[in-house]
Amino acid sequence: MPSTMVEEEQIKKAIKRFKTRIKKELTKGQVRNCTFQNGGSIEGQEFYTETKNGRLSIVIPSHKWGYDDRDLFYVALNSENGRFTPNTELNIPYGLNRYIQTCLVKDGKNIMICHRGKFTVGNGSLTKQKGLEHFENKTILIDDGGKEIWVTRITKLTSKYFAEEIAEFTFEVNVLKDMHR
């Protein structure tokens, strides 16, 4: 059974592979100022590519913004040139942390980026059940530190459709959020 990665050293190696893949396969864009609904903002380097769902942008922040227990990736489709408001975040914790919705899952030699199902919509949140129901054709059962749970598979670190799969996930996140605003 696939399982959540829990060892910090292995997670950091996988995050490094994720960053390398982004930097190699997406085009380096400009430094973007990411703005959030709560009024906060953070600066980071944008990487982008065209996908069937539009222009996928991933911003890697230039600093940790106070989060020393995870790496942050801000993702958007068809973002405006000036302002960058992420459609979703891929926050990957350095250990087992069920409060953070993104997790790395190991299945044999494959490492997958997965999502636990809960989403922020406006000032509220969408339940895990509704999130997983929306992505039901992409959910997998995993061992999450001794607990069996369902998660949504976003992509494998080795997938030849890496950017397309992240863009498809982001597109569906937008659909899901629009349905519940």
pLDDT for position 62 = 85
Q: Encode pLDDT of 68-83 as tens digits.
A: 889 999 999 998 766 7
Residue 37 pLDDT more than 70?
Answer: no
pLDDT tier at 120 (50, 70, 90 boundaries)? confident
Angle, vertex CA 35, rays to CA 31 and CA 39, nearest 5: 145
Distances (CA, A) of 133 to 103, 118, 126, 158: 18, 11, 11, 26
Q: Encode pLDDT of 135-166 as tens digits.
A: 999 999 999 999 999 999 999 999 999 999 99
pTM (two decimals): 0.94
b/e per residue 92-117 (b: at least 16 CB within 10 A) = bbbebbeebbbbbbbeeeebbbbbbb
Share of the chain above pLDDT 70, in %: 96
Domain ranges of the chain: 3-179
The 8-class DSSP code of residue 130 comes to H
pLDDT for position 102 = 97
Grouping H, G, I as helix, E, B as strand and the rest as coil, residue 118 is: coil
pLDDT tier at 6 (50, 70, 90 boundaries)? very high
Q: What is the mean pLDDT of residues 12-39?
A: 91
Beta strands in the chain (DSSP E): 3-4, 27-35, 41-51, 54-61, 70-71, 74-77, 83-84, 88-89, 92-93, 102-107, 110-115, 119-121, 124-126, 139-143, 148-156
Structure tokens at 18: 């994720």
Of 59, 112, 45, 65, the C-alpha closest to 89 is: 59
Q: What is the mean pLDDT of residues 116-134?
A: 89
Mean pLDDT of the chain, nearest integer = 92
